[in-house]
Amino acid sequence: MTMPRAIVFDCDGVLFESKGANLTYYNRILGEFDVPPVCAEDAERAHICHTAASAVVLASLMPEELLEQALSFLETLDYREFIPFMTPFSGMIEGLEALSRQFPLAMATNRGRSVSHVLQDFDIARYFSVVVSSRDVPRPKPYPDMLYHAAERLAVLPGELLFIGDSELDWQAARAAEVPFVGFGRSFEGSARVTSHDELVARILDGTTSAS
């Protein structure tokens, strides 16, 4: 594979194990409106909480007549209340440090306002030249808008990026944008898979991130 000119990371599931934080966050909103919570065992609904943009998540969990109120209530929450439930993956900081010395890095996440708190509280903002959230584009992942926006701000072509993601939404966005993709912890058709940040760094620097 040709060496990328810039690397784009998803946030949840790639940089952090954050399923507990996201479930707690959305269950806080559901509880405000007496809607039953989402349990971790409810794999399909829990997965939506972990991967989709907030408007999409709430539209799938809330009665339609409560959706507008729920979106308004969401704006009043301070996500820093939920950050203690997030855990950085092993080697993540060291990986960002190593890669940022050789490549401009970007983040493309379906998070909204909360991404700034995550970057600040874990002191990783300095590694990213560009951060694209669901608030920065017309359409969140699985649409390609975030990757196009990141490429434009990094002054590279989309095909010169390498996108690291863990969900179907990430993979679909990469395919739509024709951006090379690496699955973090999961296999996706036609894409390489890595299981750790140490492996990711080694494969990027060796130029072996194409599917095998």
Q: How buried is residue 56: exposed, middle or buried, by Cβ count under 10 Å (0-12/13-18/19+)? A: middle
Cα 90 to its chain centre, rounded Å, is 17
pLDDT at 178: 97
Q: How far apart are CA 32 and CA 73, in angstroms?
A: 9
Q: Are 149 and 128 in contact (CB under 8 A)?
A: no
137 — pLDDT class (breaks 50, 70, 90): very high
Report the pLDDT averaged over residues 9-33. Answer: 95
Q: How many residues does the chain have?
A: 212
60-66 contacts, C-beta under 8 A, 24 or more apart: 61/26, 61/30, 61/35, 62/30, 62/33, 62/35, 63/35, 66/33, 66/35
Percentage above 70 pLDDT, the chain: 99
pLDDT digits (tens, 9 = 90+) for 102-122: 999 999 999 999 999 999 999
pLDDT at 157: 98
211 — pLDDT class (breaks 50, 70, 90): low
208 — pLDDT class (breaks 50, 70, 90): confident
pLDDT digits (tens, 9 = 90+) for 153-182: 999 999 999 999 999 999 999 999 999 999
Query: What's the whole-model pTM score?
Result: 0.91
pLDDT digits (tens, 9 = 90+) for 138-154: 999 999 999 999 999 99
**End-to-end Cα separation, the chain, in angstroms:** 11
Write the CB contacts of 108 (distance below 8 Å, at least 6 apart in sequence).
8, 9, 10, 132, 141, 146, 147, 150, 163, 173
Q: Are 79 and 25 in contact (CB under 8 A)?
A: yes
User: HSE (CB half, 13 Å, CA atoms) of 80?
Assistant: 7
